[in-house]
Amino acid sequence: MEKKHIFSLLYIVLALGLSWLIVLAMRPSTVWIHLFYFPIALAAWRWRARGGLIVGVIAGILAGPLLFMEVTENVNQMTMNWMIRLFFFSVFGAFLGVLVKKMHNDSVTLANHQKEIEIQTKFATVDGLTLIPNRRKFDEVLQEEFDKLSDDDTPLSLMMMDLDEFKVYNDTYGHLQGDECLKKVSSRIESLLRPGDFLARYGGEEFVLILPVTDSPEAREVAERIRKGVIDLGLPHVNSSVRSDVTLSIGLVTAYGSSNLNAKEMLGKADRALYQAKEYGRNRVDVYGEQGKRKGA
């Protein structure tokens, strides 16, 4: 028997004995016989219906001699009182045990349900391949960041990133290797982020990055660090027209509290900056509103 069961048994035996002694000391009054409900409740709580029933029967048996000590010549009445007490103790223990078990099961069911909801909520906002936030979560966070912007010049920058010629990569190495490439690239980008930056997979080979309180020059520095970091992975891309390694094109836009932009418009500008980066040779960072001239490293 486990130690916790031994201690529970000792507590219940002690409670039974103490109840019996108190009732004995308080006779001829039988009001104190209700103390037996306490050890019965302990047993029902610890061992459910079976424990409550067994201790209820024991309590009823122990109550018998105490009831027969009453000053009366009506033995039949005393016997009836004893049987009634035995019945109530037993039923109380069994019923309470069933109730405790139901409450426990309901509690476990509720906890499992809440855990399942938490898991579903988490996976509803996490990309299943890269395990970074997905587009749904990105949309929520971008809107939250916009809501934080005031009418002053607080900056908010957004990057849209795309692996160059990823379709060619998949055709060359296969989709399984393509998935591995996406996981390695996302992990690499994550390692280069600052506290507060928010990275998400937008879909396919596209990633998006939110940079709160970051102006355009600072955001460009982060973008260049990411672009070069992906090259440093050294992932072969032999059929790429850009270079023999996997590369990344980045479109960047910065908004301010006074810009009168909304989240959808900002995303569209980042997408156009990304398109410009691809038009001007890929493997580069282009900022929305700036003419693309600079070639990638």
Kindly report the backbone phi and psi dihedral angles of residue 133, in degrees, each rounded to the nearest multiple of 5, phi listed first: -55, 150
Question: What is the residue-wise DSSP string for 216-265?
Answer: HHHHHHHHHHHHHHHHHT--B-TT-SS-SB--EEEEEEEEETTS---HHH
Catalytic residue of the set 2, 70, 165, 205: 205
Is 205 labeled as catalytic in the residue annotation?
Answer: yes
Selection from 247, 152, 255, 250 nearest residue 211 by Cα? 255
Selection from 240, 202, 229 nearest residue 285 by Cα? 229
Long-range contacts of residues 224-227, Cβ cutoff 8 Å, at least 24 apart: 224/285, 225/192, 226/159, 226/161, 226/189, 226/192, 226/250, 227/283, 227/284, 227/285, 227/296, 227/297
Residues marked as catalytic:
205
